[in-house]
Amino acid sequence: MDKRLFKSEDNKVFCGVCGGIGDYFNIDPVVIRIAWVIFACMGGCGLVAYIIAAIIVPRKPIGYTHQEREQNRAAEMYNANYKE
């Protein structure tokens, strides 16, 4: 299964965009939030980018749980290491 970007339901403050980006890149969402605040203080482009991301990034489909996500990651790692 392909890796997909979704809004986070587990780690969200406003809309879950930063949590979703953190999950996607395997980074702590706090780092993403700090970067967004810095960009927001530099002319407001971070605020505009967050609003656009909140509109564009989809929610997680029903049934796409944390356990399923971890199983997909494990399968991807296995396939990457044992491809012939």
pLDDT digits 0-9 by tens, 42-65: 887 778 888 888 899 888 776 666
User: Which sign does the torsion angle of CA 63, 12, 8, 80 carry?
Assistant: negative
Would residue 2 count as lying in a domain? no
**Paired tokens of 63:** 């049934």
- In the prediction, which pLDDT does 10 show? 78
| Domain of residue 69, residue span | 17-81
Would residue 4 count as lying in a domain? no
Would residue 33 count as lying in a domain? yes
Note whether 58 and 7 are within 8 A (CB).
yes
Percent of the chain with pLDDT over 70: 85
H helices present in the chain, as ranges? 17-25, 29-41, 45-56, 66-81
Which stretch of DSSP H or E encloses residue 51?
helix 45-56
| Per-residue pLDDT tens digits for 11-41 | 778 888 888 888 888 888 899 889 888 888 8
- In the prediction, which pLDDT does 84 show? 53
Would residue 21 count as lying in a domain? yes
Would residue 64 count as lying in a domain? yes
Q: How many domains does the chain have?
A: 1
For residue 62, the SS3 value is: coil
Would residue 3 count as lying in a domain? no
Would residue 69 count as lying in a domain? yes
Would residue 7 count as lying in a domain? no
